[in-house]
């Protein structure tokens, strides 16, 4: 699956209960897959984007919170949305979602020559061209020159990965994380106000899905330009396998639970920090 960071398009389909998952596969095996798939790096990126979103919102509204409260918020966010915490939760969720039979298939793919090349292309996509709009423009050009078979493969990849839905859910959850974090730092914010944040963003989901569906094909065309038509079709065949579908679902669950648990941890940290500062 293409890395969400690399496409610069944005992660949460479901919100999961707190607490560790009952691992169906060994934690070491899950951690290995999370690293091989690029999800390990993705957790660092997602956490960084949430923290940057909070810092940016505070900078745009300098009088919204006292300076001491801002410092507590950003300090708590650095821990709650740190890569270590997000990776641990996501890996635990992946371990609980996969079945032992999935692991050999997934490892064989990620360790294959084509699997390595695809991972490298996905990681290099954003570095190759930093501007997301330029990547989409070049992707459109590549689509115009693509054979019908190549275009069909790219479309199949979008369908197999449920790319538009996943990216819309991710964008919503990250926005919720930022806005909830700011609200939790405001003593006047009520539980109803925090709940309204999610309802407001959820209402915008259809527009986000439509937007990402439109952007997905050129984004994939650009990211996978280094694969020939046969290799692209082999990737589609892998994505259609039961193991790949299971890992895709597990990854979505992992990101969802990581962001959800981080939000809870942020609220707990702010509460503890506030109590410690109280006279």
CB 129 within 8 A of CB 135: yes
Tens of pLDDT, residue by residue over 207-233, are 999 999 999 999 999 999 999 999 999
Q: Tell me, what's the pLDDT at 278?
A: 43
Which phi and psi (to 5°) does residue 63 adopt?
Answer: -100, 10
Q: Which of 186, 217, 243 is nearest to 33 (CA)?
A: 243
pTM value surpassing 0.85: no
pLDDT for 98 equals 96
> Structure tokens of 30?
């899950």
* 277 compared with 170, residue with greater pLDDT: 170
Q: Is the pLDDT of residue 23 over 80?
A: no
pLDDT of residue 6: 40
Helix (H) or strand (E) holding 167: helix 163-184
pLDDT tens, residue by residue, 39-60: 999 999 999 999 999 999 999 9
Give the residue, 26 or 11, on which the prediction is more confident: 26
Inform me whether the pLDDT recorded for 244 exceeds 60. yes
8 band by pLDDT with thresholds 50, 70 and 90: very low
Whole-number Å distance between alpha carbons of 148 and 47 = 39
How many Cβ atoms are within 10 Å of 66's Cβ, its own excluded?
10
- Split at pLDDT 50, 70, 90, the class of 20 is very low
Determine the distance from the C-alpha atom of residue 274 to the mean position of all C-alpha atoms in its chain, rounded to a whole number.
30
| Token pair listed for 165 | 């839905």
């Amino acid at each position: 699956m293409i890395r969400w960071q690399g496409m610069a398009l944005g992660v949460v389909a479901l919100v999961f209960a707190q607490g560790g998952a009952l691992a169906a596969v060994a934690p070491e095996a899950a951690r290995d897959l999370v690293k091989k798939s690029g999800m390990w790096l993705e957790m660092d990126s997602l956490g960084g984007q949430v923290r940057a979103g909070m810092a940016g919102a505070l900078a745009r509204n300098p009088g919204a919170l006292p300076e001491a409260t801002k410092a507590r918020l950003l300090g708590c966010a650095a821990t709650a949305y740190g890569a270590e915490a997000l990776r641990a939760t996501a890996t635990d969720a992946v371990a609980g979602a996969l079945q032992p039979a999935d692991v050999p298939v997934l490892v064989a793919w990620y360790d294959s020559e084509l699997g390595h090349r695809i991972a490298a292309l996905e990681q290099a996509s954003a570095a190759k061209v930093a501007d997301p709009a330029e990547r989409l423009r070049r992707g459109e050009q590549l689509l115009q020159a693509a054979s019908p078979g190549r275009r069909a493969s790219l479309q199949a990849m979008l369908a197999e990965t449920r790319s538009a839905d996943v990216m819309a859910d991710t964008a919503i959850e990250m926005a919720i994380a930022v806005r909830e974090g700011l609200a939790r730092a405001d003593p006047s914010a009520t539980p109803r106000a925090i709940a309204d944040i999610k309802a407001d963003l959820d209402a915008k989901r259809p527009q986000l899905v439509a937007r990402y569906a439109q952007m997905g094909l050129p984004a994939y065309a650009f990211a996978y330009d280094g694969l020939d038509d046969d290799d692209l079709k082999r990737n589609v065949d892998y994505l259609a396998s039961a193991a790949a579908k299971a890992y895709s679902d597990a990854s979505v669950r992992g990101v969802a639970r990581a962001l959800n648990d981080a939000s809870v941890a942020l609220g707990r940290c702010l509460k503890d920090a506030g109590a410690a500062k109280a006279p």
